[in-house]
Amino acid sequence: MISFLLVLMVVVSMITSLVIEVIKKIVSEKSLIKVFKSMEIFSLIFTMVVATITFIVYMILLRIPVNFENVIYGFIFVLSCSCGSQVGYDKVIKTIKEIMTMIGG
């Protein structure tokens, strides 16, 4: 269960991070900042909602009983996804561009 949740955490973090970048491109950042005060808060709330839904669906599909231990796993899963999505798409693109200039591409 734990190893699958780790893989699921990485997938949720990556997908939500990319979806947030798409939302930033479609909707102006200024309008999002007016509502949420910062993009980081929007990203955090969005990822927590998606991670919570993902964990609930995971528990329903595998018929995992709701007990204290599984609730703690869910809480850790949501926090881990939120931290993972905060890494940032811009930092990854910047790193790739720096590596490409070092190689000479």
Model pLDDT for residues 46-56, shown as the tens digit of each residue: 889 999 999 99
Tell me what pLDDT residue 81 has. Answer: 87
Checking if the pLDDT of 32 tops 80, the result is no
Please report, as a single letter, which amino acid is at residue 61. Answer: L
Checking if the pLDDT of 88 tops 70, the result is no
Long-range contacts of 34-42 (CB under 8 A, 24+ apart): 40/86
What's this model's pTM, rounded to 2 decimal places?
Answer: 0.76
Closest residue by Cα to residue 50 from 89, 91, 14: 14
User: Looking at per-residue confidence, does 72 or 30 come out higher?
Assistant: 72
